[in-house]
RNA sequence: GCGUUCGUAGCUCAACUGGAUAGAGCGCCUGACUUCGGAUCAGGAGGUUGAGGGUUCAAAUCCUUCCGGGCGCACCA
């Protein structure tokens, strides 16, 4: 349990017990009552808003109520050295030396699990799901890393997480992809010019795939597209998935399940899902309304199968069949999601690119319909990545087949830096990715800055001939923290809160920000010895005070836990 | 037009699902290297949180009307 949970529970219990003395009629289950980190300008470790909340529902002056609660806490708990009432009625607590020591010891003792928010749910995270028509590009990287770190985070808390990739290996795009490979093969084998048009994939990788296929099928003439189609499809998909899997591997990502759309269709999962929804009357024969703003000249009214997604909050009902009565992409996706629902996860998460925002309502509607509102699907959108080099943006042009691929990125920048930078923004904000900054070894590069703090801590321990997990013993009689040490410890105590919020909100960027802040405090602490010789850590080869090692150890522990979740390496020396 | 998302310091962004005096980095100005690794640090200037209205003890955060950018918008995937 985190320090915040421990004290919120203690305070609640105490107030419940003393409810009459406090003349509180209504506790309302302590809804919205929290223990938080106070703003940094207050010299306190913890802060509680209980008197503001209870004051309001009991129509009492919050400051007066706070005084009473403060008195009761003093009389019943001896964890605090000081309690202050601040602002409109916050209770600010300063922990006693004994409880500070207990906390530090607890962190050091439970270094592997410190910060964990215990939970044992099952999650399915679908992410990347890049079309198998070509290698991954930079935008996919962001979603890939986001999903992977989310998985790490949820696993850290004790949940079971399945990482899944949906392969869209069906439909027109695959036809065009295979055709492109065919035409490239004709080009190589028979010197026929490859004439690009909008439906085809011109990229260089298509040529490579073509060459590989030629090598593996020496006797095949490739004189008839129809005849060669199945063979070409098999190999083309295989090789392009290999490209994608290599990129993922180089980013440090491994999915548990690759789920194929064409297998889904072959196994009639779509038919099953649709008839399931038809039984519930959510799928009917009907007519779609023409899109608004469209003049009806192009609009053909046609009877088709329709999913009534408006019953579940969508803006319009959605077609499940095309004009030729084959399934739409959405229908297939319903089949896929029914399969996920049937696999009985507690939570489903889809990580999507910004261009799929418009798809969210209908797919969440579908999941609600399939599961009778029992399964919750959370769609997280990763916004665009904008690349910069030499201060200038580069553009990606899909038409010319020129885009910056994950491989291009990995060739220049190591995976640690890519992972950290991609998470250095909230997922719903566009991200500027600067090739130059990321290669620098200074403060402008946050990955380096955080790694460097850990390296410095290791260097300190090396100088003392001690190991990082050396058994620190603190003595209550002469335990004393200076201002910066108290500040650092408060930051370290905040770690469980960061884990909790990041995982409940599914926002891993909070971890990168936090680690940067922690590293800043640490570097500042480290450098104080430059200003004032008395603040140096070591004298005559020995540590001056045991508290220093304790504080620094807790920093190392948290940095390590954080970077593990981010999947970023943490060298002991740089 | 509809939906969705964002708008916070000169620039790029945070802000603990409503909290206290809105915080970082870059850039700008001023300082600290006989170093426990200066690959760093200390200090300063910089804000009507796009605009107006509302909800309340408390709003960048919730509601509402505008303004402005991104993305999407039958039968593609």
Instruction: List the A121 CA – B68 C1' distance (angstroms).
Output: 43
pLDDT in tens, A464-486: 999 998 888 898 999 999 999 99
Position A221 pLDDT exceeds 70: yes
Instruction: Report if residue A260 sits inside a domain.
Output: yes
Out of A30-44, A223-237, A413-427, pick the least confident. Answer: A30-44
Report the distance separating Cα A401 and Cα A201, nearest Å: 7
Q: How far apart are CA A247 and CA A136, in angstroms?
A: 7
- Is residue A108 one of the residues assigned to a domain? no
Identify nearest nucleotide to residue A41 by CA to C1′ distance.
B21
> Do residue A452 and residue A534 come from a single domain?
yes
Q: Give, in Å, how far the C1' of B47 lies from the CA of A425.
A: 22
Mean pLDDT across chain A, nearest whole number?
Answer: 92
| Residue A19 resides in a domain | yes
Binned at pLDDT 50, 70 and 90, residue A404 comes out as confident
CB A361 within 8 A of CB A330: no
Q: Is the pLDDT score of A400 beyond 60?
A: no
How is residue A507 written in tokens?
């926002």
Note the strand B nucleotides within 7 A of protein beta carbons: 1-6, 12-17, 19-21, 23-26, 32, 35-42, 56-58, 70-77
Whether A237 and A188 map to the same domain: the answer is: yes
pLDDT for A290 equals: 66
CATH at residue A160: 3.40.50.620
Q: Which residue is nearest to nucleotide B77 (CA to C1')?
A: A329
> By residue range, what is the domain housing residue A468?
446-566
**Domain boundary residue among A394, A409, A439?**
A439
The mean per-residue pLDDT over the stretch A392-407 comes to: 68
Mean pLDDT of A116-128: 96
Confidence band of A215 (pLDDT split at 50, 70, 90): very high
d(C-alpha A205, C-alpha A212), whole Å: 11
Task: Please indicate, yes or no, if residue A343 is contained in any of the structural domains.
Answer: no
Q: Identify nearest nucleotide to residue A89 by CA to C1′ distance.
A: B20
pLDDT in tens, A17-49: 999 999 998 888 888 899 999 988 889 999 999
For residue A298, pLDDT over 70 is answered with no
Do A256 and A393 share a domain, yes or no?
yes
Backbone dihedral angles phi then psi of residue A383, each to the nearest 5 degrees = -75, 170
pLDDT for A344 beyond 90: yes
| Same-domain pairing of A138 and A252 | yes
Residue A472 shares a structural domain with residue A540: yes
* Phi/psi at A46 (5° precision): -135, 160
pLDDT at A362 over 70: yes
Whether residue A520 sits in one domain with residue A455:
yes
Do A393 and A517 lie in a common domain? no
The pLDDT value recorded for residue A402 is: 59
Half-sphere exposure of A387 (CA within 13 A, CB side): 19
Nucleotide whose C1' lies closest to the alpha carbon of residue A572? B37
A274 pLDDT higher than 90: yes
A86 CA to B47 C1', in Å?
25
Nucleotide nearest A38 (Cα, C1')? B20
Average pLDDT score over residue span A202-217: 94
User: Can you give the distance from the CA of residue A88 to the C1' of nucleotide B54 in angstroms?
Assistant: 23
Q: In this predicted structure, which of A72-86, A100-114, A384-398, A500-514 has the lowest mean pLDDT?
A: A384-398
> How many domains does one find in chain A?
3
For the CA of A445 and the C1' of B24, the distance in angstroms is: 14
Residue A109 in domain:
no
Element (H, E) at A180: helix A172-190
Asked if the structure places residue A100 within a domain, the reply is no
Say yes or no to pLDDT of A360 above 90.
yes
Is A71 a domain residue? yes
Q: State percent of chain A over pLDDT 90.
A: 78
CA of residue A7 to C1' of nucleotide B54, angstroms: 37
Which CATH number is A537's domain given? 1.10.730.10
Last residue within a domain, chosen from A409, A424, A439:
A439
If asked whether residues A69 and A184 sit together in one domain, one would say: no
Do the beta carbons of residue A448 and residue A475 sit within 8 Å?
no
Instruction: Count how many Cα atoms sit within 13 Å of the Cα of residue A127 in the half-sphere of its side chain.
Output: 31
Tell me: do A20 and A81 sit in the same domain.
yes
**What predicted TM-score, i.e. pTM, was given to this entire model?**
0.95
Q: Residues A225-230: what's their mean pLDDT?
A: 94
Q: If you compute the radius of gyration of chain A from its CA atoms, what whole number of angstroms results?
A: 29
List, as own/partner pairs, every contact residues A178-184 make where C-beta atoms lie below 8 angstroms and the sequence separation is at least 24, other chains included: A178/A229, A178/A232, A178/A233, A178/A236, A179/A225, A180/A206, A181/A206, A181/A209, A181/A210, A181/A213, A181/A232, A181/A236, A182/A222, A182/A225, A182/A228, A182/A232, A184/A209, A184/A210
Q: Which of A421, A439, A457 is the last residue of a domain?
A: A439
**CATH number for the domain that contains residue A60:** 3.30.1360.70
Distance A49 CA to B54 C1' (A): 26
Rounded-to-integer distance, Cα A216 and Cα A258, Å? 25
Mean pLDDT of A355-360: 92
Same domain, A29 and A8: yes
Q: Are A161 and A211 members of one domain?
A: yes
Long-range CB contact pairs, A56-63, < 8 A, 24+:
A57/A26, A57/A28, A58/A23, A58/A24, A58/A25, A58/A26, A60/A23, A60/A24, A62/A88, A62/A89, A63/A88, A63/A89
Structural domain contains residue A213: yes
Lowest-confidence range among A4-8, A401-405, A406-410? A401-405
Residue nearest to nucleotide B41 (CA to C1'): A527
By the 8 A CB rule, do A182 and A528 touch?
Answer: no
Mean pLDDT along residues A344-354:
95
Pair (A420, A466) in one structural domain: no
Q: How confident is the model at residue A296 (pLDDT cuts 50, 70, 90)?
A: low
Rounded-to-integer distance, Cα A120 and Cα A124, Å: 13
């Amino acid at each position: 349990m985190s320090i915040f949970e421990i004290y919120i529970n203690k305070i609640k219990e105490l107030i419940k017990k003393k409810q009459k003395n406090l003349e509180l009629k209504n506790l309302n289950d302590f809804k919205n009552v929290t223990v938080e980190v106070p703003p940094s300008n207050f010299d306190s470790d913890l802060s509680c808003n209980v008197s503001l909340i209870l004051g309001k529902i009991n129509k009492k002056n919050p400051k007066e109520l706070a005084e009473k609660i403060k008195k009761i806490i003093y009389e019943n708990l001896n964890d605090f050295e000081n309690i202050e009432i601040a602002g409109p009625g916050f209770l600010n607590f300063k922990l006693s030396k004994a409880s500070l020591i207990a906390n530090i010891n607890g962190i050091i003792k439970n270094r592997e699990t410190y910060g964990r928010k215990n939970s044992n749910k099952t999650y399915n995270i679908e992410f990347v799901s890049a079309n198998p028509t070509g290698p991954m590009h930079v935008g996919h990287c962001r979603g890939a890393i986001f999903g992977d770190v989310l998985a790490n985070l949820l696993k850290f808390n004790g949940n079971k997480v399945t990482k899944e990739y949906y392969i869209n290996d069906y439909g027109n795009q695959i036809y065009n992809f295979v055709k492109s490979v065919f035409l490239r093969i004709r080009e190589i084998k028979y010197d026929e010019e490859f004439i690009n048009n909008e439906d085809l994939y011109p990229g260089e990788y298509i040529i490579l795939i073509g060459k590989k296929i030629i090598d593996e099928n020496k006797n095949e003439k490739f004189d008839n597209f129809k005849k060669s189609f199945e063979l070409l499809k098999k190999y083309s998909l295989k090789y392009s998935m290999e490209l994608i899997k290599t990129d993922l591997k180089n980013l440090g990502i491994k999915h548990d399940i690759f789920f194929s759309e064409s297998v889904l269709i072959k196994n009639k999962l779509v038919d099953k899902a649709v008839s399931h929804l038809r039984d519930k009357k959510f799928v009917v024969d009907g007519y779609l309304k023409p899109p608004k703003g469209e003049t009806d000249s192009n609009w053909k009214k046609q009877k088709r199968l329709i999913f009534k997604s408006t019953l579940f909050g969508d803006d319009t009902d959605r077609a499940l069949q095309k004009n030729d009565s084959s399934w739409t992409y959405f229908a297939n996706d319903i089949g896929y999601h029914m399969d996920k629902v049937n696999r009985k996860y507690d939570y489903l998460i889809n990580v999507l690119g910004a261009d799929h925002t418009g798809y969210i309502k209908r797919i969440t509607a579908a999941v609600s319909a399939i599961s009778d509102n029992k399964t919750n699907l959370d769609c997280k959108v990763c916004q665009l990545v904008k690349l910069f080099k030499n201060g200038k943006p580069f553009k990606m042009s899909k038409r010319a087949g020129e885009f910056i691929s994950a491989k291009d990125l990995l060739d220049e920048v190591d995976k640690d830096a890519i992972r950290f930078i991609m998470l250095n923004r909230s997922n719903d904000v566009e991200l500027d990715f600067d090739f130059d900054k990321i290669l620098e070894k200074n403060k402008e590069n946050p990955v380096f800055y955080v790694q460097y703090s850990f390296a410095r801590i290791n260097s300190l321990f090396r100088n003392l001939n001690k190991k990082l997990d050396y058994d620190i013993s603190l003595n209550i009689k002469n335990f004393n923290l200076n201002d910066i040490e108290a500040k650092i410890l408060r930051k370290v105590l905040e770690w469980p809160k960061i884990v909790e919020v990041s995982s409940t909100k599914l926002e891993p960027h909070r971890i990168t920000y936090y680690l940067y802040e922690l590293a800043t405090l640490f570097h500042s602490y480290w450098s104080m010895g430059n200003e004032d010789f008395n603040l140096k850590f070591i004298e005559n080869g020995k540590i001056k005070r045991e508290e220093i090692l304790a504080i620094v150890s807790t920093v190392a522990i948290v940095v390590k836990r954080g970077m593990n979740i981010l999947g970023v390496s943490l060298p002991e020396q740089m």
